[in-house]
């Protein structure tokens, strides 16, 4: 388990390989920078070493080019998928200065965010398909973000049956993590990132 806790965000990550596999075809990336937080999940097609090879491209790209926009980052990731199996990839960026959260995804990696201030669930739809080296249509979706907003980003190995109620009732990132874990049906590569926006609690 990986954790980031700062005055701005609190994030916990779960990542596990499919039963019987030593390697997970999912990978993730989380990093905090002075002005923003960036996280991602990549779900390599299939499972095992071929899936892992595709998924592992993503954290390498994000670590080197973190200051670029998330669609620029996705384009770089896509370019690296030539002659690989391919991957579904989602990126989420919290901009501390602008107080926004942005999401861009190609494939079946889902993002939910609950805004307590408005009792509102945000569920942006991903672009269908996967990164394969072929030109992709990308769509960044950006929303205002407030202290107390809670989110989860997850691969298709994680099933969340009633995301609004699950996230709405979470008191913290830790509590959200525990609630998602209770509903897990193990047996596939599975990764999720549970987070809470703090923004210095302003």
**Mean pLDDT confidence for 5-15:** 93
**Nearby residues of 91 by Cβ (< 8 Å), 6 or more positions away:** 38, 39, 40, 62, 70, 73, 74, 103, 104, 105
Q: Which of 13-17, 39-43, 132-136, 174-178 has the lowest mean pLDDT?
A: 13-17
More confident residue, 169 or 184: 169
3-state helix/strand/coil string of 102-146? EEEEECCCEEEEEECCCCEEECCCCECCCECCCCCCCCCEEEECC
**Mean pLDDT confidence for 92-103:** 96
So where are the chain's domains? 2-197
pLDDT band at 202 (very low <50, low <70, confident <90, very high): very low
Cα–Cα distance list, 59 to 26, 32, 40, 55 (Å):
11, 13, 8, 8
User: What is the structure's pLDDT at 186?
Assistant: 61
**Mean pLDDT confidence for 7-25:** 81
User: What is the structure's pLDDT at 12?
Assistant: 96
The fourth-level CATH superfamily of domain 2-197 is PPM-type phosphatase domain (3.60.40.10)
pTM for the whole thing? 0.93
pLDDT tens track for 153-169: 998 888 888 899 999 99
User: What is the structure's pLDDT at 153?
Assistant: 97
User: What is the structure's pLDDT at 21?
Assistant: 63
φ/ψ of 61, rounded to 5, equals -65, -45
Average pLDDT, the chain: 91
d(CA 59, CA 185): 26
Asked whether residue 35 carries a pLDDT value surpassing 80, the answer given is yes
Neighbours of 174 (CB within 10 A): 15
Asked whether residue 115 carries a pLDDT value surpassing 70, the answer given is yes
Asked whether residue 192 carries a pLDDT value surpassing 90, the answer given is yes
d(CA 167, CA 194): 9
Percentage of residues in the chain with pLDDT exceeding 70? Answer: 94
- Angle between the N-to-C axes of helices 70-79 and 57-65, in degrees from 0 to 180, rounded to the nearest 10: 140
Asked whether residue 87 carries a pLDDT value surpassing 50, the answer given is yes
Query: If 0-12 CB within 10 Å is exposed, 13-18 middle and 19+ buried, where does residue 105 land?
Result: buried
Asked whether residue 22 carries a pLDDT value surpassing 50, the answer given is yes
């Amino acid at each position: 388990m990986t954790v980031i806790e700062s005055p701005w965000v609190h994030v916990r990550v779960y990542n596990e390989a499919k039963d019987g596999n030593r390697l997970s075809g999912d990978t993730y990336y989380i990093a905090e920078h002075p002005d923003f937080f960036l996280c991602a999940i990549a779900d390599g097609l299939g499972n095992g070493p071929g899936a892992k090879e595709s998924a592992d491209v993503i954290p390498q790209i994000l670590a080197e080019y973190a200051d670029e926009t998330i669609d620029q980052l996705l384009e770089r990731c896509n370019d690296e998928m030539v002659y690989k199996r391919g991957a579904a990839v989602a990126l989420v960026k919290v901009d501390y200065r602008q107080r926004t959260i942005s999401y861009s995804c190609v494939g079946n990696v889902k993002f939910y965010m609950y805004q307590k201030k408005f009792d509102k669930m945000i569920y942006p739809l991903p672009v269908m398909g996967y990164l394969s080296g072929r030109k992709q249509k990308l769509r960044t979706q950006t929303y205002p973000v407030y202290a107390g907003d809670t989110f989860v980003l997850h691969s298709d190995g994680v099933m969340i049956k009633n995301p609004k109620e699950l996230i709405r009732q979470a008191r913290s990132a830790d509590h959200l993590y525990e609630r998602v874990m209770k509903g897990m049906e193990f047996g596939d590569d599975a990764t999720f990132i549970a987070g809470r926006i703090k923004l210095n609690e302003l």
